[in-house]
A and B are shown apart, each in its own frame.
Chain A
Amino acid sequence: MKMKGSRREFLKKSGSCALGMAAIATQMHHLGTMTAYAQRAIDASPLGGDDYKALVMLYWAGGNDGNNMLVPNHSDATISNYAAYSALRNTQGLAIAQASLLPIAVPRLGGLSYGLHPSLGIQTQNGTTIVNNGIHELWDLGKLAILPNVGTLVRPLTKAQYQNSSFQKPYQLFSHSDQTTQYQTSVSNTQAFTGWGGRISDRLTAGSNPNGLVPMVTSISGAQLFTSGQTTLPLAIADAGTALNSVLNPQGFGTNPTGSTLARKNAFDALRQIDLSSNYIGAASHVTDLAMQANASLQTSQEVTVTFPNTSIGRQFKQVARLIKKRLDLNVNRQIFYVQIGGFDTHTVQLSQHVSLFTQFSQAMRSFYEEMILQGISDRVTTFTMSDFGRTMNPAGSGSSVGTDHGWGNHMFVMGGAVSGGDFYGSLRPDGTGNYYPTLTLGGSDDTDTGTAPRGRWIPTTSVDQYSATLARWFGLPQDAATLSAVFPNLANFPGTYSQLGFLP
């Protein structure tokens, strides 16, 4: 942590405002990228949107097995070490070899080494690095933080409390749909019909984007509960496979319609302004209006500089980067984005699936990070991950088809120039037991299971609510009790500095 402190000190002294801390920090570590630096200097001066901030949710759909993404890489006997990990997974062929782990030192745990899955680092193809170096490097740059053992919770929970049937727990644990809903709504005790991204937008749109040409929230992956608020309707558009000027373009009108085409266009638009006494018709017209308004503002496109991987998640991040580059045109000071990569429900053939999926999102995240640097805005854009749940430590099956089943607590990444990276964040159990990283013992203190065949489903130490609220606080959500309880109704159940896990200022 000392290193990070000194870096911050330097930045304060430098007095740079327009240039993000991350930009300079990264620059210091990439002395070779002078073109990028020059580009930033050019971009930086006209930036009027000094107040701009964006949150980008990367959702791992299906329940990512964090146990193989973040692995103990030490032999300290007082805390779950590599041997403990290996003992639970190697026999069935699911353990990642220690030698292949990408080491990260964790200051909060006295500098102990943990390891990221090898696919999160540099990937080469025929001897050439593909696209970029992945997210592992960002740890040492202090731009990638990890929250171990995050999960849905109604209130802090010990194992004894978990086993007490009258103690409040999230409804329908281990169910994809319910747990996805709970991550996206940050409400785990009852069904909620708005997402926490949407609820933030409900409260910030009038103040931050009073004349925004697009909604505050954008999904590049269809309709998502996370993006819907009481009044917030998200922009939902396709990935970068479609140019921005086409994502919402009604066909058949051309660029400058005349004659009967113009008459059709005018009538098409006029029909949305009548018959609004029906609330369903009004709602449908409102959505289409929003699309038409956004379409008009997306006609001039700005292309990004970085080469993004041509994968679904790569194209989604690229589309986000395009929109961020257009933020001044779009007249928005705050934006929330949703991107998603699916395929994590690895009941079988997890090893090969992980190689593919981890490579995809790691490459896409890094490309996005670099593009934000080039846009001079990396300290104003924070990317974070969520997923349905973690998975069982105890493998399902064995051999080439080995996989894992539905679990609970899981490990999450937060990436960005504003992130105090290079460390673990989170909370401990209410009774002070546990550790940031779960204790890798089947049937042990962190496992929901007991009895003869415990599976290793970790009881989370840090709640989705704390995690989300820390992001929201940085984003500018007012911290008064009324606002917090409206956006994160269960947050007050987590005492102390519940919306300040510390990974963001």
Chain B
Amino acid sequence: MYPFPGGNAMPRKFMYFGIRPLAALMILSAIALSIAAQDDDPDPNSPTPILLTMNHSSRVIASPGIAKRRDDIARIAPQSFASGQNIVVFATNLDLMKGEGASAFRLYAQDSQRHVWRFTVTDIDEMSDSPGIYALTAKLNDEIGFWPEPTSAAVSLYLTWRGNASNPVKLDFGQLTDDAADLPGTVSAPLADALSQKNKSSRRVAAAAPAVNQVGYRWSGDRARFQEQTTFGMTSTQDNSIRRIGLRRWLNMQFETPYPSEAYPNDPPKPSTAPADCDNDQTVTPDVPETCYRDTYSMYKPQTWFMRESLYGNAQLRHRVAWALSQIWVTSGVDIQQGRYMVEYHKILSNNAFGNYRDLMKQMTLNPTMGAYLDMAGSTKTNPNENYAREIMQLFSIGLFMLNQDGTLQTDGNGNPIPTYDQNVVTNLTKVLTGWTYCTVAANCPNYVIGTPNYLDQLRLNNTANHDLTAKTLLTYPGSTTTNIAACTGCTGTAISTYAANSMDQALDNIFNHPNLAPYVSRTLIQQLVTSDPTPAYIGRVAAVFNNNGQGVRGDLKSVVRAILLDPEARGDAKTDPNYGKLREPVLFATNFLRAFGVRSADGTALFDGYITGRGEFTGMSQIPFMSPTVFNYYPPDYKVPGTTLLGPEFAIMNTGTSVTRANFVYRFTYNAIPIAVSAPNSPTGLSLDLTDLQTIAAGDSTANQLVDELNRRLMHGTMSSQMKAIILPAVTSITATDTLGRVRQAIYLVATSSQFQVQR
């Protein structure tokens, strides 16, 4: 039986969230402190939807057509359903925002083999005579058609909304099952109980609502989740700060925090052919400095800087959004020779992380590193290269197929996706972008050094004869502007320069105003920051902000980032939707882990120098900053978790090999410091964790409960299940209580290697 106000005890599955005795003390003492500080933040928790069932079973109340009145619902008889049929189910305990409708919901069926089907909810109606009870209509067509139809007669059905799942209920599929044959795991929520509630609000606010937190302060689960989404991992300092000022103020401060905390590497680039004093050969002409080759001709400097900024930087949100953008606008040291070249590229990401997408597009188009990586630099009217023209549309802005504003695919009359552009558009956009190359005219290129490729100044039209002067036709879409660029007949000299620059702006406007841009970018950023498979409603809310930030500005990333992070689908202490969350990608997995345990140099006396990017424990996980294997990023945004219908981009690099590397990464750094032993001149600091505070906790509690609770708080924002704790505790206490370090390591290893931690929810 599902709990309503004044109802029965909580079903067992919700007992995970019961308050543990030790934590309760902490909560009691802390609530007073935290409430005042969090005045600006509303309760982050959305109610948990409840699917209504028959009075004496967990069978869902469902009919093929909408029932208008409460009496009609009560009369709905048990029935079975088939593929392709419409189904109407009834839910309560919802609190809809303005404009929130059917696309905020998803209906899932799951059989005993754990095959999952997803049905699109097409309509939602509040019952006129029973406010607070909603009729949801869906069509029993699997959205993705992954599995064949269920073969069992009864499947488990659940409704998800804002990252929370309803009680699972029984749906008869193909044939009617016996009432007595309850489906294991399903939970009844009798209609009669809901109707017996006197008013709308009590129907709405059921006891299952906020899964109140287990360890820590009020909403500390949400705060920890927030840090997983906005930073490179929770630290106690950061956590305290957000607790004091609240999420919203912290966001506003982050938007203004100076970046980077440590200056970008700033060494001058070198010639493409390594000079004798920088060629990694010390025998004839010693290198100056001895590390010159590594520092110049590899990604060492930007990589180690990136890791230090991730682990210790103050402007965490900007760094994180830049990291997300770098996985859309991909360049890579696989093809780019010098580390310094990546710095100018990264500056564009970080400068525009809270800026406007249109500026980002322009600066990237003129960035020499991008120009080299995707061959726009040097593309001429007689020898054009389509690479950048193709990828700026396909990967960086609008994608291959026409989207609705909520990110769902548009289809033609035959149900096929509609391409956003064809080869003609690629050819024409390529023409627009011809003639640009590395800036090599001393008077116009302040950073130009003869003999060294100029990756610091923007690309330039050095030779106007290389620009294509013919007419071009670009993207055509409803409301498209600047689609046609006229020929520049008879143009010469500066007229061409002006024409080429104007044409580029027109072409970028043509892309920027494409209706796909908002849903495409919004979905990708949500996937990067919050969850892999967001609802159309969530994408739609963010896309609306992308289209107009409230002041009539399109493409304002600051507003977009805020909208993503403060959305109810992002917020809440815990998310119970089985299809919510994302696999921690290796960089975040590593930094989340290292920041949680006070990462520092091997001898513990200084900060870690960030040199992890060349170590096998890290590189084996298949995500090395500044070294994406292809322009398709480390993983594609459309990747589906094998065997499921779920989007899970990061799972593309989660395989048997990398899953073990992840465990070994944890082992290596939990049980060993990386020594300084690497020979001079490279002299990395090595790496160690500071586990003393955890040892203190371990020393004070021989049951190890407090230790595991603390790891639950730090790594899993309080979502550790009682089963999980029950497995970990005896393994920890198998080590003698006096060996506090041994116990701490044992506990960290088990929590950090678990899939429960690997998945950020």
Contacts and interface: CB of A to CB of B under 8 A. Distances in A.
Given A175-B390, A287-B654, A280 B761 contact: yes
Interface string B308-319: 000000000000
Interface stretch (B282-290, B558-566, B578-586): B578-586
Contact of B731 (A165, A176, A191, A264): A264
Contacts of B387: 175
A174 B422 CA distance: 14
Contact of A278 (B419, B735, B761): B761
Contacts of B630: 176-177, 180
B643 interface: yes
A65 B734 CA distance: 61
A490 to B, nearest CB: 14
Nearest to B395: A177
A223 B652 contact: yes
A482 interface: no
B660 interface: yes
A173 interface: yes
Contacts of A230: 146, 642-643
A283 B643 CA distance: 8
B382 A453 contact: yes
A476 B250 CA distance: 60
B656 A235 contact: yes
B354 interface: no
A234 interface: yes
B237 interface: no
Interface in B395-431: 400, 416-417, 419, 422-424, 426
A291 interface: yes
A14 interface: no
Contacts of B735: 260
B12 to A, nearest CB: 13
B116 A279 contact: yes
A177 B632 contact: yes
B724 interface: yes
A223 B622 contact: yes
B556 interface: no
B255 to A, nearest CB: 30
Interface stretch (A205-213, A269-277, A426-434): A269-277
Nearest to B645: A279
Given A176-B631, A263-B731, A277-B578, A284 B642 contact: no
Interface string B701-734: 0000000000000000000010110011011001
A33 interface: no
Nearest to B185: A277
Contacts of B202: none
Interface string A280-320: 11111111101100110000000000000000000000000
A418 interface: no
Contacts of B655: 219, 222-223, 233-236, 287
A230 B400 CA distance: 22
A440 B201 CA distance: 78
B283 to A, nearest CB: 23
A274 B721 contact: yes
A10 interface: no
A231 B113 CA distance: 13
B639 interface: yes
B734 A171 contact: no
Interface in B610-645: 622, 629-632, 638-644
A260 B659 contact: no
B742 A272 contact: no
Interface string B132-163: 00000000000000100000000000000000
A228 B642 contact: yes
A175 to B, nearest CB: 6
B657 A237 contact: yes
B676 interface: no
B417 A271 contact: no
Interface string B643-654: 110101001111
B750 A231 contact: no
A169 B423 CA distance: 10
A279 B663 contact: no
B55 interface: no
A264 B656 contact: no
Contacts of B664: 250-251
Contact of B638 (A191, A222, A291): A191
A46 interface: no
A15 interface: no
Contacts of A288: 656, 659-660, 663, 755
A260 B639 contact: no
A260 B483 CA distance: 69
A293 B164 CA distance: 33
A238 B583 CA distance: 22
A284 B654 contact: yes
B249 interface: no
A285 B114 CA distance: 14
Contacts of B660: 248-250, 288, 291, 295
Contact of A268 (B656, B750, B756): B750
Given A223-B652, A280-B582, A267 B728 contact: yes
B755 A285 contact: yes
Given A223-B655, A230-B146, A279-B644, A270 B756 contact: no
B386 interface: yes
B756 A233 contact: no
A280 B648 contact: yes
Contacts of A177: 630-632
A266 interface: yes
Contacts of B463: none
Contacts of B638: 191, 193
B749 interface: yes
A236 B653 CA distance: 10
B528 interface: no
A190 interface: yes
B656 A252 contact: no
Interface centre among B424, B656, B660 (most CB of A within 10 A): B656
Contacts of A248: 656-657, 660
Nearest to A173: B423
Nearest to A276: B114
A172 interface: yes
A496 interface: no
Interface centre among A174, A235, A396 (most CB of B within 10 A): A174
Nearest to A394: B383
Given A165-B424, A229-B642, A233-B643, A275 B750 contact: no
A231 B643 contact: yes
A71 B162 CA distance: 61
B644 A283 contact: yes
Contacts of B761: 278, 280
B759 A453 contact: no
Given A193-B640, A280-B646, A252 B749 contact: yes
A247 interface: yes
A242 B398 CA distance: 42
A174 B646 CA distance: 30
A214 to B, nearest CB: 9
B394 interface: yes
B17 interface: no
Contacts of A222: 622, 629, 653, 655, 657
Given A190-B417, A280-B580, 20 more contacts: A165-B424, A169-B423, A172-B390, A177-B631, A223-B658, A231-B643, A233-B655, A235-B655, A251-B663, A251-B664, A252-B667, A259-B734, A263-B731, A264-B746, A268-B663, A280-B579, A283-B643, A287-B651, A291-B660, A453-B382
4 residue pairs, one from A and one from B, having the closest CB atoms: A236-B655, A284-B755, A291-B656, A267-B731
5 contacts: A165-B422, A177-B632, A247-B657, A285-B755, A288-B660
Interface of B: 114, 116, 146, 382-383, 385-387, 390-391, 394, 400, 416-417, 419, 422-424, 426, 532, 578-583, 622, 629-632, 638-644, 646, 648, 651-660, 663-664, 667-668, 671, 721, 723-724, 727-728, 730-731, 734-735, 742, 746, 749-750, 753-756, 758-759, 761
